[in-house]
Amino acid sequence: MFKTTALAAALATTATFAPAQYNPTVGGAPMMADKTIAENASAAPNLTTLVAAVKAAGMAETLMGNGPFTVFAPTDAAFGMISEASLTQLMDERNVAQLQQILGCHVVAAEAFSTDIAGMIADDGGMHAVPTVGGCELQAYMEGDALKLKDENGRVATVTTADVDQSNGVVHVIDRVILPSGQAG
pLDDT in tens, 113-170: 999 999 999 999 999 999 999 999 999 999 999 999 999 999 999 999 999 999 999 9
Q: What angle do CA 131, 136, 141 make, to 5 degrees?
A: 60
Residue 41 lies inside a defined structural domain of this protein: yes
Residues 6+ apart with CB under 8 A from 112: 11, 15, 70, 120, 170
Question: In this model, does residue 172 exceed pLDDT 90?
Answer: yes
Residue 57 lies inside a defined structural domain of this protein: yes
Residue 22 lies inside a defined structural domain of this protein: no
Which of 57-61, 146-150, 177-181 has maximum average pLDDT? 146-150
Q: Is 96 exposed, middle or buried (0-12, 13-18, 19+ CB in 10 A)?
A: middle
Residue 20 lies inside a defined structural domain of this protein: no
pTM: 0.86
Range of the domain at 42: 6-13+32-174
CATH number where 83 lies:
2.30.180.10
For the stretch 69-126, pLDDT in tens is 999 999 999 999 999 999 999 999 999 999 999 999 999 999 999 999 999 999 999 9
Q: 3: pLDDT confidence band, cut at 50, 70 and 90? A: very low
Report d(CA 68, CA 110) in Å as an integer: 5
Domain count, the chain: 1
21 or 48, greater pLDDT: 48
Q: 13: pLDDT confidence band, cut at 50, 70 and 90? A: very low
Exposure of 148 in the CB half-sphere (CA atoms within 13 A): 12
Residue type, 147: L
Length of the chain: 185
Residue 166 lies inside a defined structural domain of this protein: yes
Residue 184 lies inside a defined structural domain of this protein: no
Report d(CA 55, CA 57) in Å as an integer: 5
In 3D space, the residue among 112, 117, 134 whose CA is nearest the CA of residue 179 turns out to be 134
SS3 state at 55: helix
Residue 24 lies inside a defined structural domain of this protein: no
In 3D space, the residue among 101, 79, 97 whose CA is nearest the CA of residue 88 turns out to be 79
Question: In this model, does residue 17 exceed pLDDT 50?
Answer: no
Q: Where are the beta strands (DSSP E) in 20-127?
A: 69-74, 107-108
Residue 26 lies inside a defined structural domain of this protein: no
